[in-house]
Structure 1
């Protein structure tokens, strides 16, 4: 299968005139529409040579006139710009498979165009445009071959959102002991609202950011793709007066324990290609959830052989036994993985001593369970030490690493992560990032990158008093925001009551394992809890895949409810969760999803909704009616029995 193949076709008339008759560049079209014309991005220059853009869908404004431009240490590209050339339109086809995703095989076609501008001193800046059925994107490029270092002081890029829109945005926490880590609540706001009640002091808004615009007729997600070592991860400035959200770079003090310098501005040798600014657009929120535009724009896989990369499920002792680092507890979770047919077990902080004393890695491999081990970011920042450590781990039988406490979006960290994925792949190691930034299409480029935290997950039953009340709502927002950016290590199925008592039903917690997409699903609870489960729930956990061939959004209402149809080979499910405190009616057409099956098994709340389950099996009928419990859920599996 060809990955990221670009086809060149005959240019449109305007491009042909430009190529063959020397037509004045100023008359060239600075817009680009998708194949069917639904999504369009249009650039324009003001009288002062300031660059702006707008985005429309079927003629309706999605992003109103918004600024573009870069101010650098040696050149200014924010004013005094003039048009130089407009390239012919090309067709770009992206065909690839994902190891981790809502859909296994992607085959998308885009229109592309590049527009070159010069500033008053004659220096060039190129804007690459992409438009497709799922949205539009743009990026900056400096084509100068001078090999000199350039620093960007400010990026002028903004996103003008209408004031009456609705938004779901997460505060970007300022640097601290465990921040920024993308572990705050998504707040339901209106453009222009200030940040309110964040978990930690905050300096902006995170990407991705979700909005409902155009009088509720369209959804839009702002995101990034393809960030590598030549650029920091970016967020949005906190001041969005008038609904203009502007790009902000990682903060200077985002160092944590890493040996980073004082310059937090993007810097690179020329030529320089920067990350994509991605604008995903849909008629329904479900269109956002299912979009692969972020991976479509990311670089193609850099691994020729991915046969060794296997998504799967894992046991994990830390959530249920955070203070117990004994060989006995690690071995108990290895046995649990073996009994449920899970491919992996994760040995968290403290595993080294347990391995020295009790040989926990050898015991796991002897049982056919693949061990993953925890590590500290600072120990993997130096390239030579990292490579040496990966070789040592692979020789021990380790199959993956969980590397924690990055707490930075700085450019140096983005560079380290790319090298880390590569070095890990060279030793056939899978990667799980924690205390980290959100992914940016990296799981396409490096298929051994299986999952990342960057989410307010179930560990916050320990740490956040507001979490129990807000968790259900967040669980119906994150699939349309964080999980669109990449695989999400939410660590589901946290049934045991912790410091801040859970309010979601047990079925809701179970269903999150099938709502979130993660290359390795780390289940949170104890061996005793797993052993106490009724047989149908135990069987579901054994059968449940970690990634999907096909996903369909049936109900998509961020903050309220979500229902997905999921398929993996011969397995077929419908899974839903309620994000509200209300009873919500559900009416599904089962016949549409039941082809080849005679019955369906449904798991719902038992008598004690917090801790128990009820399982019933029925013949396939055309419709199924149900009432979501408050903060509840359900799981349907189609069966033949």
Structure 2
């Protein structure tokens, strides 16, 4: 990773003027714009000393005046505030590579400013501002010297969305046997709508939250970044009167089987730096999908050597054989990984017994396949037990761990994640989180964090009666919401008919492996299905990357269609899926994406759209016309033959 370069703009003289000129709050510049000035965040104080902010893009209001402030156990920063200092504008350059992402190398310049306020008792609160071409962000800091542990009783941060907006929001499920796990449907709402028909009883809305505003001219995503062990993961309150969405902390009963206290309020020693509240904006939904603002704001990589971290593809037996934990079954999926050139295989629940009886880990490593193993969150929560377990697994030849059933956004769990990433990295182990919260830029800070569930994925064909009807729509919403937050373990390519029969075409299911971004793609389905695939589809699976050098959004219509251009080294693809029950025309200018190639191979629906594929090869032409099948898809691979 490249070091972050920070340049300070303006002169010391300006800072001195702000400190000693005695300007009123109204006369001080409490706004910050990107360069060029397409995005802008503005702070203001009311007559009562309450803090508000607004956000614009190209002079159009995205977030109208909304509240800011913290109410602590011993200090209140919601009213009676006054300005102490406005810093000079700074310039922050974020230049880094991601092991997992839509784009490999990111180089963004962000404008920065910090504004210090004091309350009636003289205590200080700093608001850090950031503005870039992709959006704006802010965070709170309490800079006073440490005296004791402080607590935040309430954060009044709000996001005022116009009532005419359209939104895609996911209910935040209350604590239960497997919740919260960010495994509900994203539903289409209008600001102010209440939660209706969630999969489980719910106490709020999840972030990321997506809205289309300004008569459809702008898109905005509300998200978090850089949540660490000093703060819980946050969601939005269930009620949004007048379109005002406000921050909510993790609930106190989000414990699952973990030894957590009843105190769900954020606590920390001072000084205290809190997570970024991120507002990503764009004219097109594709601008949201491609944004890296969440990782831009996350801490730089803490690993000096990342050469051992390799994204890849994995076989996974659980989806097709959930009750068969035998050595023979696990070994068959190791053989399947080898036959397709996959780098990994995942041994899920019951692997310990199979390994004791049949040495499945040794057999995988002997074939050059890197084994990953499943684990239960309670076994990895205690620091000493976790470190000991990681050492044991690494000595066995294990290369990664899927850790399941966290079901909590509590602060202690956020702290456990970061310690877990570090302890795993010390043993050169990769991490996949399941039954968990959404990532918050963590895959930049800890590149061995390859993927996380926090998605209503293909296991829902076992459990959710509404899933088959909604799956295609969800697959065209989640890339603009969940996947923007970080890598997504959707477990694609589920062709075998399960309890709730699939309605998406086979090509749609195949295409999800290239629509979602995940550091390790865990493919669902059986060895028999993989072995039955036609040669072009088999070759596609062998060649398919797990991360990308470049991605371009061609069609971006959440809930309807998505078409992406994807490149990795000399591999180039266009992939699309239809989220509707309608036949939809597709018209593409292939010449734009086909430089250096003479032909393209296209995979579409076969005679039985639910199970078969049709493959055709054509010379490059300027245009390609196609008709999306209902809940269908296509994959174009550019080739030279």
TM range (shorter): over 0.9
CA distance in 2, matches of 1:619, 1:205: 48
Superposition map of 1:480-495 within 5 A: 480-495=480-495
Give the match for residue 31 of structure 1. 31
Give the match for residue 41 of structure 2. 41
Superposition map of 1:50-449 within 5 A: 50-449=50-449
Offset at 1:14?
5.3
TM-score w.r.t. the length of structure 2 is: 0.99
- Contact kept in structure 1, 2:492 and 2:509, CA below 8 Å: yes
Give the match for residue 453 of structure 1. 453
Offset from partner CA, 1:587-633 (integer Å, 9 cap, x none): 00000000000000000000000000000000000000000000000
Offset at 1:112?
0.2
Offset at 1:404?
0.1
- Contact kept in structure 2, 1:41 and 1:131, CA below 8 Å: yes
Task: From the superposition, tell whether residues 367 and 25 of structure 1 become closer, same or farther in structure 2 (CA, over 3 Å).
Answer: farther
Offset from partner CA, 1:421-446 (integer Å, 9 cap, x none): 00000000000000000000000000
- Contact kept in structure 2, 1:4 and 1:93, CA below 8 Å: yes
User: Alignment partner of 2:154: what SS?
Assistant: strand
Give the match for residue 558 of structure 1. 558
Give the match for residue 477 of structure 1. 477
User: Alignment partner of 1:151: what SS?
Assistant: strand
User: Alignment partner of 2:547: what SS?
Assistant: coil
CA distance in 2, matches of 1:548, 1:368: 24
CA distance in 1, matches of 2:228, 2:3: 19
Give the match for residue 605 of structure 2. 605
User: Alignment partner of 2:286: what SS?
Assistant: helix
CA distance in 2, matches of 1:11, 1:466: 60
Offset from partner CA, 1:28-51 (integer Å, 9 cap, x none): 200000011110000000011000
Offset at 1:16?
6.5
Offset from partner CA, 1:541-579 (integer Å, 9 cap, x none): 000000000000000000000000000000000000000
CA distance in 1, matches of 2:599, 2:189: 43
Gaps of at least 5 residues in structure 1 are: none
CA distance in 2, matches of 1:31, 1:150: 29
Instruction: State the Cα RMSD in Å.
Output: 1.0
TM-score w.r.t. the length of structure 1 is: 0.99
CA distance in 1, matches of 2:411, 2:2: 31
User: Alignment partner of 2:551: what SS?
Assistant: strand
Task: From the superposition, tell whether residues 237 and 341 of structure 1 become closer, same or farther in structure 2 (CA, over 3 Å).
Answer: same
CA distance in 2, matches of 1:582, 1:434: 34
Offset at 1:13?
8.5
Give the match for residue 497 of structure 2. 497
- Contact kept in structure 1, 2:139 and 2:274, CA below 8 Å: yes
Offset at 1:5?
1.9
CA distance in 1, matches of 2:89, 2:241: 36
Offset at 1:3?
2.7
Give the match for residue 626 of structure 1. 626
Q: Is 2:538 aligned against 1:547?
A: no
- Contact kept in structure 2, 1:147 and 1:271, CA below 8 Å: no
Gaps of at least 5 residues in structure 2 are: none
Give the match for residue 582 of structure 2. 582
Offset at 1:122?
0.2
- Contact kept in structure 2, 1:250 and 1:410, CA below 8 Å: yes
Offset from partner CA, 1:219-275 (integer Å, 9 cap, x none): 000000000000000000001010000000000000000000000000000000000
- Contact kept in structure 2, 1:364 and 1:371, CA below 8 Å: yes
Superposition map of 1:7-22 within 5 A: 7-11=7-11, 15=15, 17-18=17-18, 22=21
Q: Is 2:585 aligned against 1:595?
A: no
**Count of aligned positions:** 640
Offset at 1:12?
9.7
User: Alignment partner of 2:352: what SS?
Assistant: helix
Offset at 1:59?
1.1
- Contact kept in structure 1, 2:9 and 2:88, CA below 8 Å: no
CA distance in 1, matches of 2:169, 2:13: 42
Offset at 1:76?
0.4
Offset from partner CA, 1:483-537 (integer Å, 9 cap, x none): 0000000000000000000000000000000000000000001000000000000
CA distance in 2, matches of 1:5, 1:156: 33
Offset at 1:15?
4.3
Segment drifting more, 23-32 vs 50-59: 23-32
CA distance in 1, matches of 2:539, 2:4: 39
